[in-house]
Structure 1
Amino acid sequence: MGGNHPRRTPAAPGQADEPAGIEIVGLTKRYLTPKGETFTAIKDVTVSVEPGQFCSIVGPTGCGKSTTLAQVSGLERPSAGSVKVGSHIVDGITSGVSYMFQADALFPWKSVLNNVMMGPILLGTPKREATELAMDWLRRVGLAGFEDRYPHQLSGGMRKRVAMAAALINNPRILLMDEPFGALDVQTKAIMQNELLKLWEELRPSVLFITHDLDEAVALSDRVVIMTTSPGSVKDIFDIDLPRPRGNVQEIRHEKRFLDLQGQIWDSLKDEVTRAYARTAGAAA
């Protein structure tokens, strides 16, 4: 399973691309600590995300959720195991992938418009076409009229809208999201969740979504993966059979099936959260 597979040529921005699944098999990642000791962040993680599926990973702090995303993106290489996107082994930066971080990964010296059009420009799109595409995406995320603002002139929720437009403008096959709404207030978070679901329904990339918020995971996802305390491995996988489209996450959370699923998943997750807390409390004592 070497690295001689053909490289994929990204589709032009705004054009449809073939769906791609994610296959994570026996994934292990080890790091050297500053003391020269080996630390295992994740161990033998196996997860499948079907093409166009929305999959969330939930687990206690330090269980390796973000590490898993880094292996899928190709930003890091696994110590053991493999990741496939589509039919290709990931052995470098994965084409057709967009990454949305918890922190706003926006260029503070660039305007909103220039931040959003960066992706198409880097893929060789002519400036006029990239500008039109970025303007269209700013309208889609409700920021028409804010093109000339800079990130520091926007609220937290507005910056997330810019980041979402920048992540989706190239019509990615894979969307990786690392707690993108974690820092937002409850009301803004609900609005952004609804926005994300609406845009995902239009484009249908395969999504791997990291969150600490169990309600968020259930409301958004087709599948929820529970990871153990460090070293992180897969403890349980739950299929979420709530009907789609899901128009309003706040309303979904009051439905009986949502509450049943949330309760089942919490029964699996709570032991891991308790273990992680006990470990960190013991270390601090």
Structure 2
Amino acid sequence: MAARDDAATGPAAGRTVREDARIEISGVTKRFLTPSGEAFTATREVSFTVEPGQFCAVVGPTGCGKSTTLSMVSGLDRPSEGSVRVGGQEVNGITDGISFMFQADALLPWKTVLGNVAMGPVFKGVGKAKANAAARDWLRRVGLAGFEDHHPHQLSGGMRKRVAMAAALINEPKILLMDEPFGALDVQTKAIMQNELLGLWEQLRPSVIFITHDLEEAVALADRVVVMTSRPGSIKAVHEIDLPRPRGAVQDIRFQPRFLELHHQIWASLREEVERAYADTTGEKKS
């Protein structure tokens, strides 16, 4: 069910959220220059809002500008037109209080697991002993106690994702940006990581923008699902996910009648864009 963009699902009653964690993306168009010097429009007039403490998933076909949008929220890139505001302030540089979790492992291979997780506090000026103590605590939270002295290459893919999650959350960010973080994992490991993420998010309640190609994942995790069109990406629909929280295991959520209804509604909106994007890349015309 498509809903107006200014509607907020909000955090659970009694949760404390940071009011400076509101994300407002307003009329954002982003253009790039191609190697031949021509202008390429990645997104066109993208507008949506993520309320403080809200979990927002963004879905859309490959190449529609989902990752580009994340880059502009983080301050790693700037819009060609429109504005991105965090906590009411326009984003003009690297946004303070944001953590970014990428699809590929962003771990330093020469550092231990403990060293990778402790980097965030160290960069913020925390003493090494205190940073290591916090890192040990976060490794315990993600189920990696006893692996502090391992290096990334000694871990499985799922374990590396746990390290990346601990590194992203150790500074207790007000905003968490996630770009297909579980896309490369097998189905079983992915479900475990989704459950881990929900549990940790319930504790901290950062505002989340979660990019995914997996519609089931989007519905299971999010308060709101934003559907983007094929390129140039714009907002086609915004769907409120009214599944109650806490939601429990994602494996069980997917069998609930309301989940299936929401999935069907959103897929009806998304499918046309996926087919159009595929037709564009194969040279076929979608009628």
With the length of structure 1 as denominator, give the TM-score of the two structures: 0.93
> Could you tell me how far apart the structure 2 residues matched to 1:155 and 1:46 are?
38
Matches within 5 A, 1:138-217: 138-217=139-218
Structure 2 partner of 1:113: 114
Given that residues 17 and 205 in structure 2 are in contact (C-alpha distance below 8 angstroms), is that contact kept between their aligned partners in structure 1? no
Within the alignment, does 1:250 sit opposite 2:251 as a pair?
Answer: yes
> Could you tell me how far apart the structure 2 residues matched to 1:111 and 1:217 are?
32
Structure 1 partner of 2:78: 77
| Paired residue type of 1:18 | R
Q: In the TM superposition, what is the alpha-carbon distance from 1:87 to its structure 2 partner? A: 1.5
Structure 1 partner of 2:6: none
> Could you tell me how far apart the structure 2 residues matched to 1:87 and 1:228 are?
27
Partner of 1:117: helix, strand, or coil? helix
Deviations 1:87-127 (A, max 9, x none): 21100000000000000000000000000000000000011
With the length of structure 2 as denominator, give the TM-score of the two structures: 0.92
Structure 1 partner of 2:276: 275
Q: In the TM superposition, what is the alpha-carbon distance from 1:247 to its structure 2 partner? A: 1.2
Q: In the TM superposition, what is the alpha-carbon distance from 1:18 to its structure 2 partner? A: 2.7
> Could you tell me how far apart the structure 2 residues matched to 1:91 and 1:144 are?
39
Matches within 5 A, 1:95-114: 95-114=96-115
> Could you tell me how far apart the structure 2 residues matched to 1:224 and 1:68 are?
15
Q: Structure 2: which 5+ residue stretches go unaligned?
A: 1-15
> Could you tell me how far apart the structure 1 residues matched to 2:131 and 2:88 are?
30
Given that residues 17 and 171 in structure 1 are in contact (C-alpha distance below 8 angstroms), is that contact kept between their aligned partners in structure 2? no
> Could you tell me how far apart the structure 2 residues matched to 1:87 and 1:255 are?
37
Given that residues 64 and 230 in structure 2 are in contact (C-alpha distance below 8 angstroms), is that contact kept between their aligned partners in structure 1? yes
**Greater CA deviation, 171-180 or 82-91?**
82-91
| Paired residue type of 2:64 | C
Within the alignment, does 1:44 sit opposite 2:35 as a pair?
Answer: no
Deviations 1:14-42 (A, max 9, x none): xx983411000001100000000000000
Number of aligned residues: 268
**Greater CA deviation, 17-26 or 142-151?**
17-26
| Paired residue type of 2:75 | G
Structure 1's consecutive aligned runs of 4 or more residues displaced over 2 angstroms after TM superposition are 16-19
Q: In the TM superposition, what is the alpha-carbon distance from 1:272 to its structure 2 partner? A: 0.1
What is the percent sequence identity of the aligned residues?
71
